[in-house]
Amino acid sequence: MSHVIDPRKVAANLSDFWSPRIVAEMDDSFVKVAKIKGEFPWHTHEHEDEMFMVLDGEMSIELQDRTVKLKCGELFVVPKGTRHHPVAEEVCLIMLFEPKSTEHMGGVVNDNTRTIAEQRGPQ
């Protein structure tokens, strides 16, 4: 994708919460955006780091030993192998940077799981 993207606009226009959309690819990584609200299940990405950046709103990432709170413009990298639980009390827009090998829920498949095809959106 070699065009200008407004990640906040793309995220704001998403209709489903916790359903990331790929907006760009860079080497072996995806840049994704999502609209979140409520809680996402605890999960782990055994082999990949995951970067969360808040584009609008606020969110928390609960870890086993602490809770990280993020405001607009702030980012946090969840280290590979770290069990985490993203939470947003109100609507929050986020951007994610993940290796292309990252599975949406760390290999767990349930109603929350989104495939890469689903994350690419309508073609």
d(CA 118, CA 108): 16
Q: What is the pLDDT of residue 75?
A: 98
Query: Is the pLDDT assigned to residue 77 strictly greater than 90?
Result: yes
pLDDT band at 123 (very low <50, low <70, confident <90, very high): very low
Separation in Å, CA 18 to CA 21, 32, 60, 81: 10, 11, 14, 21
pLDDT band at 2 (very low <50, low <70, confident <90, very high): confident
Mean per-residue pLDDT, 19-34: 93
Q: Angle CA(1)–CA(115)–CA(117) in degrees, nearest 5?
A: 40
Beta-bridged to residue 82, according to DSSP, are: none
Domains and CATH numbers, the chain: 7-96 (2.60.120.10)
Query: Is the pLDDT assigned to residue 34 strictly greater than 60?
Result: yes
Q: Is the dihedral angle over the CA atoms 116, 79, 68, 26 positive or is it negative?
A: negative
What digits encode the pLDDT tens for the residues 92-120?
A: 999 999 888 776 555 655 565 565 556 56
Between the two ends of the chain, the Cα-to-Cα distance in Å is: 13
Instruction: Please indicate whether residue 40 or residue 112 has the higher confidence score (pLDDT).
Output: 40
Q: What is the pLDDT of residue 56?
A: 98
Q: How far is CA 92 from the centre of its chain?
A: 11
